[in-house]
Structure 1
């Protein structure tokens, strides 16, 4: 995007009106709030829906398979951001792509609202995977459009936006989780669909007035001839994949375990290809190539962080259901409620972190140093889970406070890394690949969960000490290494 176009966008957006930030932040805050309500509400009960017995309203899958599917699902949700980024960069711009994504997400939740068994499960997953890929990276990219490159409000703005994401995630498990576990899983999924509908209504009602030209430009549009060629290739490729998949599944060649392994490999290969494609593109300048090199350590650190954080909805969710005493101070608890801990702490602490970064100004730690601190804290959040295993053993129910402590520590790390990572991505992105670079940021989460699809198979109550200990120690080691590298890249972001 040229400097002239960027200036036109900034002039079209009301620059004050939402806690001292551009008014468009209101629209994006509440759009993402409701999208995350629908996603995290569904995710709070999905693992249990898969492995609970059929007589309990579930699908009756074994727990190891359910955990692996959860990790792969999460990976594909973020991996599909590549598609959303490409569509925004080359076809429709971010604003239209966000709207199309919301429609698909809502359709996915509706599919789960009816008792269609495993078929409905995978249909819903497919719709939500594609829809989230269209919506999530592009909403964040529009936030970047609201600020100039040197606007000191940028990091704080992303922190406020991030708080909106987590407000939705905070409320959803209590509403969707309670309805799903106490009454019917399908009722819970239906409420998630209503949440996405609310987000679409807010986006449509306020986007013109609040967003101006933000998200309306197509930075690297296809020519008419290129469109015909691309659509033809996409159509043929989709048809081939569907036919090949149907044949392989019917013959028993493509099993769930083989599919999860395939996704795990893609989680490693795709980022490498993506970085190489952008780095060697003729549209990437020499300075942008240097920025991409500075971005690689951040990407690797983010992968390690998300590998721990995302296990909160898989391994720690299973831990809450099976290893945790579901009562506290005389109150009964639902295992799905623990999924609200992460967003709860973010909602409480995000304003604190935003204020700290604003107050420190140019004296604040560099982006790489913030990332290193986030990694160390993530490692500690797993190490604390060793303590109840040592003192209580694998057969006793432990206090819910151990999960509370683990979630709190990882959130401290998340607030050092995630909103800052969003901001750094908008600053380091090559101009011709702005939306796709934001997709690359979310790909760090996809890669982490793709790898998790294999790692979570190693978890058992009797292996807790090794499981939490080894993963936690690796994260701390990488955090220390990144801190040492931070002195090389300090001037980049």
Structure 2
């Protein structure tokens, strides 16, 4: 039997999960707990990095902390590429998800250790584990259905709800524990959440049937040994480089962050060059990839601003907002729960809107709307920052409004981008294109981490207004190129 044979939820005696294969509940809960751990840790990361040593933090400058945060997010998405390859060629999706979850949990437990080194060692493990789990669990969800099943999209919608449910709950728990009790206790809560995810995944494996049980295109014999040898050599070279940097006293946080940012951009350029110059793809496919390059740049620019919610905006929440409610000062990280709850509310409405509009609004225009809304959110933040000049605390409702505008932009761009990725992909690279879409987030976050350094040196109103207007201008420019991009898409809407 094929390893991706779909599980039939309608078979006699087969238990279902909201009318879907029972296996979906196992994957739903695994992803929910993984996102709980990811967003729970992320909600307090920058706050911990910038907290003074007297407050049990690391006392890192805001500019460096913002860059670390952006690079960390970038590496999570960048590792989806090798993570997908490992599943396809070596382990299979099921074992990749299991080992990914174990490594993620280990990373969070390391971060729970009250030592200065633990945060960076833990983040490294989380990045590696997420690279194994994140892309492959989505592949397994797809494996539960026939390709043309009308229930497939509904299944992914339920799965998507799990992502945002975990992201909503996490900051409320880790934020309270981290900010009010102890930072490492907050990281420990994220570790426990991921442990729950791994345990229920193991207990629910009987529901999965053969889904993801074997690699889709396994390496065998000499090819497998050659691949493992190359991986081993690459790891040794990396360790050697790190050792040289350490000996030369160059192994600093900023050196690592800057190097990873450059690597992310270079890898992305190389990836696009490889596909577009491939002589085996047709002229139509090459044209569509050129259109996709435009969309990729727009998406990267979008995430550059959007993902500053956990860094620059999180620090603004901590330092510039009045969070006192009836004598209780709620944790700044609680505002990180606003985004996912708004997505849960808005996603069905956005899906209905795009269904009603049909092909009357093209993909490039939807991307442009996302960029404009994202920019307007930062223009609004400029007004909030101006109101806080002089040390006045502003209402947290400013941030709620900013997040609401950003979520509207995300729902205009993100799901549309996922769909465009699958439609514009050359046949030869169909299985790799989702990794390329993740690279847009990686590039946006990596460059955004560097851009966010300016938030400490520029006046806050100037920072938000400059990048907000830049995003609006890029969105309006995208509208001007809509016809050109649509022609390059060669019949794809």
Q: TM exceeds 0.5?
A: yes
TM-superposed CA distance for 1:35, in Å, is 0.2
Give unpaired runs (5+ residues) of structure 2.
none
Counterpart residue number, 1:345: 342
TM-superposed CA distance for 1:415, in Å, is 1.7
Q: Does 1:115 align with 2:110?
A: no
TM-superposed CA distance for 1:127, in Å, is 0.3
Deviates more, 1:143-152 or 1:455-464: 143-152
TM-score (norm 1): 0.89
Cα distance in 1 between the residues matched to 2:107 and 2:320: 31
Cα distance in 2 between the residues matched to 1:362 and 1:50: 46
TM-superposed CA distance for 1:442, in Å, is 1.5
Q: Does 1:467 align with 2:466?
A: no
Counterpart residue number, 1:52: 51
Cα distance in 1 between the residues matched to 2:464 and 2:154: 33
TM-superposed CA distance for 1:309, in Å, is 1.1
Give the counterpart of 1:163 among 161, 164, 172.
161
Q: Structure 1 pair 419/83, CA: closer, same or farther in 2 (3 Å)?
A: same
Q: Structure 1 pair 386/11, CA: closer, same or farther in 2 (3 Å)?
A: closer
Q: Does 1:230 align with 2:195?
A: no
Secondary structure in 2 matching 1:385: helix
Contact 2:7 2:21 in 1 (8 A): no
Counterpart residue number, 1:87: 86
TM-superposed CA distance for 1:203, in Å, is 2.4
Give the counterpart of 1:14 among 9, 20, 26.
9
Cα distance in 2 between the residues matched to 1:37 and 1:351: 22
Cα distance in 1 between the residues matched to 2:350 and 2:314: 27
Give unpaired runs (5+ residues) of structure 1.
none
Counterpart residue number, 2:322: 325
Counterpart residue number, 2:492: 492
Contact 1:176 1:189 in 2 (8 A): yes
Cα distance in 2 between the residues matched to 1:234 and 1:139: 23
Deviates more, 1:309-318 or 1:224-233: 224-233
Counterpart residue number, 2:302: 305
Q: Structure 1 pair 101/149, CA: closer, same or farther in 2 (3 Å)?
A: same
Give the counterpart of 1:415 among 388, 411, 415.
411
Secondary structure in 2 matching 1:29: helix
Report the count of equivalent residues: 485
Contact 2:62 2:453 in 1 (8 A): no
Cα distance in 1 between the residues matched to 2:221 and 2:464: 53
* 1:28-69 deviation digits (Å, cap 9, x = unpaired): 322111100001111111112112122212122222222211
Cα distance in 2 between the residues matched to 1:13 and 1:308: 42
Counterpart residue number, 1:186: 184
Secondary structure in 1 matching 2:251: coil
Q: Does 1:376 align with 2:372?
A: yes
TM-superposed CA distance for 1:104, in Å, is 0.5
Contact 1:346 1:411 in 2 (8 A): yes
Secondary structure in 1 matching 2:190: helix
Cα distance in 2 between the residues matched to 1:470 and 1:21: 47
Counterpart residue number, 2:203: 205
Cα distance in 1 between the residues matched to 2:307 and 2:6: 39
TM-superposed CA distance for 1:233, in Å, is 1.8
TM-superposed CA distance for 1:87, in Å, is 0.9
* 1:257-301 deviation digits (Å, cap 9, x = unpaired): 222222222222111212233445577566654553443233222
